Every structure is written in C-alpha cells, then in structure tokens.
Structure 1
C-alpha cells in the first residue's frame, strides 16, 4: 500500500522498496467545467544542483526537451486534454544514472498559456502525483493536491532527492506560482531567452 503524503511531508522510498534505483512519477488531473476553452496541462522536471537552480538549461525536462543530458530524467509524453483514467503524464527518474551533483529533482505541472487564457488550478480537480517503482510497477507514495490554488498557473507537486544517508526520498511540495511556466522556469534558473 502506498504512503499517502500531506503537504510538506516526506517518505523514504528506499525503505518502502529496498534496492530501488528507478521510479516513474505519474501525474494526473481533471478539468472542471469551463467556458469551453481547452486546458493543456504539462508536466516538467527541474534538475537542481547545489545552487538551488537548474544545473543547466538542458536540465529542464519538458515537452520540448524530453531527456536530460545524461538520460537520468525522461519526460513520458504530452497529454493535451487530461481525458481518461489514470496518469495523464509521466516523468521517469533513474537514480542510478543521476549525477552526484544533483541535489533534487522538482516535478511541476503548468497550464499551457494559463495567464493568456486566464486559466489556473482553481479550475483543476483531482490533481495528484504518485511515485511508482519501475522494478515492479508498485505505487510507493502518493500526494493528492487538495488546497485551492485558484490563482496559480503552475504548481510544484513533489521533489525527489537523495538524503545524506543515500536514501531516495520524496517530499510533497504543493507550491503554486501565479506567473506560470515562465515565472517558475525563470525562478529555477532556466534561461528562457
């Protein structure tokens, strides 16, 4: 049974699954009734170094940059509608390939052109992030975003990291950004020039 996380909570995935080396973060959401204009939510990963910024622009993994330079983080593809059951988008993290200078991997979801379309997470329901062990397909941890984020067009869902003891951990973040993808990416040190 998966550990259910609350905002700010964390769990050792290594204790849940000894020998863990690779996980997939499944992200899902539903769009509430809207004015009929399509919502396109996108998952992304920021590979953060010791400076608390991305190691390089290539360490921002999303629909236009599907794989990190070392192949440790891979974007699973763009679902433009969020329709259907199960995960809408996925990001795979292979800790065996992840370089030692990586402090953490932030997993975010943004609303494509959210500010321009006046769309935000207030119109999104049932949003979640779940961590799956790639070795056996078992869900290890889940974070259901329940709080109202009605002004935010971007959300950091979870972060994954290695503890000082070498354990792989996940922490529930649930932090919103009104400025959408551009503001979030800029805040993480991505050069959007």
Structure 2
C-alpha cells in the first residue's frame, strides 16, 4: 500500500513537471485541440473503498484497496470517445485484471469541464495468487463514473473522478475432506481516481 502511494505521488510529480511549459500556452489553442477527432488515452490511479464482511458475525470493516486503469481509444467528438480499458484492482486477497469496453466524454469546451465514463466488461483473475484450497475465477464488471478534467495544454489534461464499481468473482474452495464449494461474491466499491489524459 505504501509502495502504491509513493508510485502515485511520483507519477503526479512527473506529470506536473512535464506539463508546466504547456500551462503557458493560450487557451484558444487548447480549446481547438479538444474538438479534433483522433487517438485518446489516459492512465488513472486511485483506490476502491468498500465494506468487508467479517466471519463469525463481527461488525463489518471498511478498507481501501489500490486500483490502476489504462484507457486507449478513439475520440469521435469532445462528447464521445470509445475504446478499451485494462487495469489492476485489489479485492481482499484477490487481484482482478478488468478488461472492458469504455466510453468517455467531456461536457464543456472549456479548460475545466465535467466528464463522464462508463466501463463494462470482464474482470479476469489469472494474475491472482491462489490460496491453499481456493481458486478464484473472475466475472462481469461495471464501472460508471463522473468527475472533471483540467486542461493543461494541447490534448493533455488532469482527471479527477468518482464512481461506483461492481465486480463479480467466483471462488471455488476445497475443504480438508475433499468437498468442493462455490461462492459467488459481488464486490461493490466506491472508486476514487486521479489521472492524466493525453
């Protein structure tokens, strides 16, 4: 967790340093670039906040787990871009790799604008370590989000978003007597992310 926070801080320090010269450019050039069609990409770091149920009927606890997301797509218009997303999400002791179709859009043609996003797809568990007697398997994923972006020059911008992420996971457990049990879990998490669009 500490390593992820340090990586997040390093990413934003580099991003701010690399775009400081772009802040001096005129706003008109930035507004023109937002209306052009073409490639659009973003990288976002954040946390997934949610309630974790404990065994033996203890009160639930709340935890924050790191999350990383990459988007690559085509911007047809300022209001609509479509592409693919891939990322890494941590739930309890399971690492999920979501692979999804993503839609993005910017509401206003200004330096600061509200944004929206919607990702839907499948969360794979092939990178997750297998605990003794347990085998996790991924499932469908849905993640709508709202936020805002701050233009820094040309097509570059900082992103801030909050969303609601649902991830289905199936866990097959094998007991000491060789009995197999399947458990379906739907993780419901608040997602808070900071990112950079290019």
TM norm. shorter chain > 0.5: no
User: Smaller-chain TM-score range?
Assistant: under 0.3
TM (norm. structure 2) is: 0.27
Normalised by the length of structure 1, the TM-score is: 0.28
Q: As a proportion of its length, which structure holds more strand? A: 2
Q: With CA pairs under 8 Å and 6+ residues apart, which has the higher RCO, 1 or 2? A: 1
Greater Rg, structure 1 or structure 2? 2
The structure with the greater share of residues assigned to helix is 2
